[in-house]
Amino acid sequence: MKVILTKEDEKSLRSFIYEIAVEEFKAARNDVHISEIPYNQTEIAKKLNTSTKTIREWETLGMPHGTIGSSKFYDFIQCKQWVLSQK
């Protein structure tokens, strides 16, 4: 079967497929907790279901984090892997 589309229909279909793909990639990233930006201390505590005090304690024990000036940032996957490796 061969489908013939006008240029306008082709453009509309491409746009529709693109939007679906973007939505699905975003959903997949959320499913595996991959963020485009790193989390701050409050956000990572919430993601790991703990307190910021515990996050600070874990940092002294080696939990991975980055620092720029006085700001700290955390990658969820690295932090989760570290937490799981401690048990």
CA-based nearest residue to 65, from 53, 47, 77:
77
Same domain? 45 vs 81: yes
Q: Please give the model's pTM, rounded to 2 decimal places.
A: 0.60
Residue 26 has pLDDT above 90, yes or no: no
**Distance in angstroms (rounded) separating the CA atoms of residues 80 and 41:** 14
Q: How many Cβ atoms sit within 10 Å of the Cβ of residue 75?
A: 18
Supply the range of the domain harboring residue 8: 1-32
Q: Which residue has the higher pLDDT, 30 or 73?
A: 73
**Distance in angstroms (rounded) separating the CA atoms of residues 63 and 60:** 7
Same domain? 48 vs 81: yes
41-82: pLDDT as tens digits: 999 999 999 999 999 999 999 999 998 888 899 998 899 999
The number of domains in the chain is: 2
Same domain? 27 vs 45: no
**Residue 73 parent element (H or E):** strand 71-73
Same domain? 75 vs 54: yes
Rg (CA), the chain: 21
